[in-house]
Amino acid sequence: MKIGVAYLRMSTDKQEYSIDSQLRLILDYAQHNNILINKKYIDEGISGRNAEKRPAFMQMINDSFNNKFDCVLIYDSSRFARNLEQAIVYKSELKRNGVELISITEPFVDDDTSLITDALFGAMNEMYSRKLSKNVKRGMEQKALRGEYLSCAPFGYDRIISGKPLQINKFESKIVKLIFNKYLNGQTTFSIAREMNSLGIKTKRGNKIDTRWINRVLNNNTYKGYIKFNINGKTIYRKADHDPIIEDSVFDNVQKLLNANLKVKKYKERPIEYKKHWLTGLLRCKYCNSVFVYAKGYNGRSDRFRCGGYSLGTCLHPSSITVKKIENIVINQLENIISNDNILYSLTLIPKNNIENVLIDKEILKINKALDRSKDAFLDGIDTLEEYKKIKTELSKKLKNLYEQKENNNNVDYNNFKKNVINTLEIIKSDKDTSEKIKIIKNIINKIIYDKDSNSLSIFFWN
């Protein structure tokens, strides 16, 4: 009697034979052919295109090295592999290990013709798999174009009937609305996640909520009643057939706020709630440009800010300043700006939309090059005088608009800036949370450079 194992696979597409049906037929075949099945390897809901993604299959191949069985029984060759190259490789692997592969529904062939037969069945299975994949993608594309939501129901929705529109989950939808409102009202994704966890709110899968999950909720077009689906290299964006949870205006305002926060957020920057002082992240060393870190005092020493570069050994200046001293200097300078217009108007303010100015400069450079090329074309007799004049007029008009736009970006509204300084002073002198103070101070200050030798500060303000 031969010792055999059964390999069974059922992919996600609808097939005639289930795992149970395959097993029943394999066991019946084994009984009539004097084969003892002592183990079953099952990959359920997994495609046959890639063997490495089928754990039971790979375990069976590994076990074949240990002489644990004489043969592998499969329902048909498509259960083994639908990739011609992999089918040949792993059938050869089994053969080298002395293991026979038996398909119970396909004709038995001898060694002389098995290579051709294997190649034929493998090619047919791969063609079927590729055709099936294309049909599935085409079907998904058509559903997306009709506005059908294709994935599992996101938090806030339930799928009551397959193929029917998503239904709003009353409890979860309230949480979604709460998350959007809190973010619009100035809470960070970190603080929202922490609050959701304190309330015992879980994801659809029962996991704790983190900042990544909050970001996915805030960015999910599903909540405004749309679907966004990527397939075959193109994006389908359509009004969906389910009801929205979030109004268009609220969703769009959240996207603007997310983009604005993304521009000012630095890579791996810690959440505001973790920062110990409202000047954290703003103070920099004159000599190495490293950010000063907050150092808690010990043995009677005061809390202080210390050069991060010196702490790491990359800066040769042991720069540090007590928290109380830096607070007083910054507050005094802000008060001087308010009380003395000469100081106010002498400030050099950094435009917040400096990125926009960089893009404008690139566009100006591009247009100037186009003007030069147009002039060369006229001088070489390629363009007529009338054509040259027309092109020059159009490009000059674009240049004028760009210079005006850049000038507007650089214009300083000193009255508005003064109001912002007054408001900032009021907040940082109050008993409000550190997170609120950080937000308000970062709205007017870009950075603060500390010079240890002269014991002075240079504050760079936002316009």
Residue 69's pLDDT band (cuts 50, 70, 90): very high
pLDDT at site 267:
47
Rounded to 5°, angle at Cα 185 from 183 and 190: 40
* 23, pLDDT greater than 50: yes
Architecture of domain 157-264: Alpha-Beta Complex (3.90)
Tell me, rounded to whole angstroms, the distance of Cα 160 from its chain centroid: 29
pLDDT at site 151:
62
Residue appearing with tokens 């089928």: 54
- Closest by CA to 73, choosing from 5, 2, 3, is 5
The Cα-based distances of 288 to 115, 314, 330, 363 in angstroms read 69, 8, 21, 34
* 289, pLDDT greater than 80: yes
Q: What average pLDDT does range 224-246 have in this prediction? A: 73
pLDDT at site 462:
78
Q: What is the pLDDT of residues 76-99, one digit of tens each?
A: 887 887 676 677 778 888 888 889
Residue 39's pLDDT band (cuts 50, 70, 90): very high
pLDDT at site 368:
87
- Euclidean distance between the first and final Cα of the chain, in Å? 87
Distance CA 181, CA 187 (A): 9
Residue 180's pLDDT band (cuts 50, 70, 90): very high
Residue 108's pLDDT band (cuts 50, 70, 90): low
- Average pLDDT over the chain, rounded to whole? 79
pLDDT at site 87:
78
The answer for 447, left when phi > 0, alpha when psi is -120 to 50, beta otherwise, is: beta
- Residue 189: both structure tokens together: 């994704």
Q: Which range among 96-100, 129-133, 395-399 shows the weakest confidence by mean pLDDT?
A: 129-133
pLDDT at site 179:
93
Q: Which residues pair with 284 in a beta bridge?
A: 291, 449
pLDDT at site 417:
84
pLDDT at site 110:
47
E strands, 281-393, where?
283-285, 292-295, 304-307, 320-322, 349-350
Identify the helix (H) or strand (E) that includes residue 337: helix 323-339
From edge to edge, which strands make up the β-sheet containing 71-74? 35-44, 2-10, 71-74, 100-103
Q: Which range among 2-6, 32-36, 195-199, 227-231 shows the weakest confidence by mean pLDDT?
A: 227-231
* 13, pLDDT greater than 80: no
CB 320 within 8 A of CB 302: no
- Residue 81: both structure tokens together: 């592999």
Q: Which range among 189-203, 327-341, 402-416 shows the weakest confidence by mean pLDDT?
A: 402-416
pLDDT at site 70:
93
Residue 72's pLDDT band (cuts 50, 70, 90): very high
Q: What average pLDDT does range 173-188 have in this prediction? A: 90
Q: Which residues pair with 234 in a beta bridge?
A: 231
Q: Which range among 203-212, 375-384, 427-436 shows the weakest confidence by mean pLDDT?
A: 375-384
- Residue 257: both structure tokens together: 């706020």
pLDDT at site 273:
47
Count other C-beta atoms under 10 Å from residue 126's C-beta. 20
Q: What average pLDDT does range 64-86 have in this prediction? A: 83
CB 46 within 8 A of CB 54: yes
2-133 is a CATH 3.40.50.300 domain: no
The Cα-based distances of 312 to 181, 202, 274 in angstroms read 42, 40, 21
Distance CA 139, CA 148 (A): 11
Residue 385's pLDDT band (cuts 50, 70, 90): confident
The Cα-based distances of 164 to 148, 196, 204, 220, 439 in angstroms read 8, 30, 20, 20, 45
- Which has the higher per-residue pLDDT, 104 or 82? 104
Q: Which residues pair with 445 in a beta bridge?
A: 461
CB 245 within 8 A of CB 172: no
* 127, pLDDT greater than 80: no
pLDDT at site 352:
61
Q: Is the dihedral of CA 270, 274, 279, 283 positive or negative?
A: negative
* 73, pLDDT greater than 90: yes
Residue 14's pLDDT band (cuts 50, 70, 90): very low
One-letter amino acid identity for 385?
A: L
Domain boundaries, the chain: 2-133, 157-264, 266-463
Local structure of residue 310 (DSSP, 8 states): H
Exposed, middle or buried, 284 (CB in 10 Å: 0-12/13-18/19+)?
A: buried
- Which of 82-86, 222-226, 331-335 has the highest average model confidence (pLDDT)? 331-335
CB 172 within 8 A of CB 154: no
Count other C-beta atoms under 10 Å from residue 395's C-beta. 16
pLDDT at site 31:
92
Residue 37's pLDDT band (cuts 50, 70, 90): very high
Distance CA 10, CA 45 (A): 5
Q: What average pLDDT does range 55-59 have in this prediction? A: 89
* 201, pLDDT greater than 70: yes
